[in-house]
Chains A and B, each alone.
Chain A
Amino acid sequence: MDMKANKKKLGLKEKYAHMTRGLDWQTTYQPMDKVFPQATFEGIKIHDWDKWEDPFRLTMDAYWKYQAEKERKLYAVLDAFAQNNGHLGITDARYLNAVKLFLTGISPLEYVAHRGFAAAGRNFPGVGPRVACLMQSIDEIRHAQTQIHALSNYNKFYEGFHAGAAHQIERIWYLSVPKSFFDDAFSAGPFEWMIAIGFSFEYVLTNLLFVPFMSGAAYNGDMATVTFGFSAQSDEARHMTLGLECIKFMLEQDPDNLPIVQKWIDKWAWRGIRVLTLVGMMMDYMLPKRVMSWKEAWEIYFEQNGGALFNDLAKYGIKVPDCITQCTVDKEHISHQAWCTFYQYAHASAFHTWLPNAEEMDWLSAKYPNTFDKYYRPRYEQWREMADKGERFYNNTLPMLCQVCQIPMVFTEPDDPSKICYRESDYNGEKYHTCSDGCKHIFDDEPEKYIQAWLPVHQIYQGNCWPEGTDPTAEGFDPMAKVLEWYHIENGKDNLDYEGSGDQANFAAWRGAATQNT
Chain B
Amino acid sequence: MAVKALSEYNFPAADTQDKFHGNQLLYVGWDDHLMFCAPFAYCIPPSTKFSELVEKHLPHSFGRHPEWAKVDFGKAVWLKSGQPFQPDMNKTLAEQGLKHKDVLRLQTPGLNGNGTYF
* Known contacts A400-B29, A424-B81, A446-B1; A452 and B37 CB within 8 A of each other: no
A347 → chain B closest CB, angstroms: 14
B3 → chain A closest CB, angstroms: 5
Partner of B38 from the list A399, A432, A445 (CB cut-off 8 Å) is A399
Complex CA gap A378/B23 in Å reads 37
Segment of A97-105, A221-229, A292-300, A455-463 in the binding face = A455-463
* Known contacts A400-B29, A446-B1, A454-B14; A408 and B38 CB within 8 A of each other: yes
Complex CA gap A449/B3 in Å reads 7
Q: Which of B29, B37, B118 has the most CB of A within 10 A?
A: B37
- Within 17-43 of B, Cβ neighbours of A (below 8 Å) are at 19-21, 23, 25, 27, 29, 31-32, 34-43
Residues in A with CB closer than 8 Å to B69 are none
Complex CA gap A408/B43 in Å reads 16
Asked whether A365 is an interface residue with its Cβ less than 8 Å from the other chain, the reply is no
Complex CA gap A418/B113 in Å reads 11
Partner of A418 from the list B2, B15, B101, B112 (CB cut-off 8 Å) is B112
B104 → chain A closest CB, angstroms: 10
A335 → chain B closest CB, angstroms: 13
Residues in A with CB closer than 8 Å to B6 are 37-38, 41
* Known contacts A448-B10, A452-B13; A400 and B41 CB within 8 A of each other: yes
Residues in B with CB closer than 8 Å to A18 are none
Residues in A with CB closer than 8 Å to B60 are 396-397
Q: Are B40 and A399 in contact (CB under 8 A)?
A: yes
* Known contacts A379-B116, A396-B60; A409 and B14 CB within 8 A of each other: no
Asked whether A414 is an interface residue with its Cβ less than 8 Å from the other chain, the reply is no
Asked whether B82 is an interface residue with its Cβ less than 8 Å from the other chain, the reply is yes
Asked whether B88 is an interface residue with its Cβ less than 8 Å from the other chain, the reply is no
B interface size (C-beta, 8 A):
49
Q: Are A379 and B118 in contact (CB under 8 A)?
A: yes
- Within 5-52 of A, Cβ neighbours of B (below 8 Å) are at 37-38, 41-43
Q: What residue in chain B is nearest A377 (Cβ atoms)?
A: B116
Segment of A156-164, A265-273, A275-283, A337-345 in the binding face = A337-345
Q: Are B117 and A420 in contact (CB under 8 A)?
A: no
Asked whether B95 is an interface residue with its Cβ less than 8 Å from the other chain, the reply is no
Q: Are A341 and B37 in contact (CB under 8 A)?
A: yes
Complex CA gap A38/B4 in Å reads 11
Q: Are A453 and B14 in contact (CB under 8 A)?
A: yes
B79 → chain A closest CB, angstroms: 9
- Within 315-334 of A, Cβ neighbours of B (below 8 Å) are at none
- Within 422-474 of A, Cβ neighbours of B (below 8 Å) are at 422, 424, 428, 430-433, 445-446, 448-449, 451-455, 457-458, 461-463
Q: Are B40 and A448 in contact (CB under 8 A)?
A: no
Q: Are A418 and B34 in contact (CB under 8 A)?
A: yes
Q: Are B14 and A379 in contact (CB under 8 A)?
A: no
B113 → chain A closest CB, angstroms: 7
Residues in A with CB closer than 8 Å to B118 are 378-379, 382
Complex CA gap A411/B11 in Å reads 29
Asked whether A167 is an interface residue with its Cβ less than 8 Å from the other chain, the reply is no
A-facing mask of B43-86, CB < 8 A → 1, else 0? 10000000000000000110010000000000000000110000
B83 → chain A closest CB, angstroms: 11
Asked whether B94 is an interface residue with its Cβ less than 8 Å from the other chain, the reply is no
* Known contacts A418-B32, A448-B10; A393 and B64 CB within 8 A of each other: yes
* Known contacts A337-B37, A340-B34, A378-B113; A397 and B4 CB within 8 A of each other: no
Q: Are A433 and B4 in contact (CB under 8 A)?
A: no
Q: Are B4 and A420 in contact (CB under 8 A)?
A: no
B37 → chain A closest CB, angstroms: 4
Q: What residue in chain B is nearest A458 (Cβ atoms)?
A: B15
Q: Are B16 and A430 in contact (CB under 8 A)?
A: yes
Complex CA gap A492/B37 in Å reads 23
Asked whether A56 is an interface residue with its Cβ less than 8 Å from the other chain, the reply is no
Asked whether A477 is an interface residue with its Cβ less than 8 Å from the other chain, the reply is no
Residues in A with CB closer than 8 Å to B21 are 462-463
Q: Are B2 and A448 in contact (CB under 8 A)?
A: yes
Complex CA gap A448/B3 in Å reads 7
Residues in B with CB closer than 8 Å to A340 are 34, 37
A478 → chain B closest CB, angstroms: 15
Q: Are B3 and A409 in contact (CB under 8 A)?
A: no
A411 → chain B closest CB, angstroms: 9
Q: Are B38 and A379 in contact (CB under 8 A)?
A: no
Complex CA gap A345/B61 in Å reads 13
Partner of B37 from the list A399, A418, A445, A449 (CB cut-off 8 Å) is A399
Q: Are B102 and A461 in contact (CB under 8 A)?
A: no
Partner of B27 from the list A410, A433, A449 (CB cut-off 8 Å) is A433
Q: Are B3 and A461 in contact (CB under 8 A)?
A: no
Which residues of A line the B interface, CB within 8 A? 37-38, 41-43, 189, 337, 340-341, 344-345, 375, 378-379, 382-383, 386, 391, 393, 395-401, 408-410, 418-420, 422, 424, 428, 430-433, 445-446, 448-449, 451-455, 457-458, 461-463
A selection of 25 A-B contacts at a CB cut-off of 8 Å is A41-B5, A189-B4, A379-B118, A382-B113, A395-B37, A397-B41, A397-B61, A398-B40, A399-B38, A400-B29, A400-B38, A400-B41, A401-B38, A401-B41, A418-B32, A422-B39, A422-B105, A424-B81, A428-B13, A430-B15, A430-B16, A430-B100, A433-B101, A446-B1, A462-B21
Task: With A393-B35, A461-B20 given, name 12 new contacts (CB 8 A).
Answer: A43-B4, A382-B35, A418-B32, A430-B13, A430-B16, A433-B103, A448-B3, A448-B10, A451-B15, A452-B13, A461-B41, A462-B20
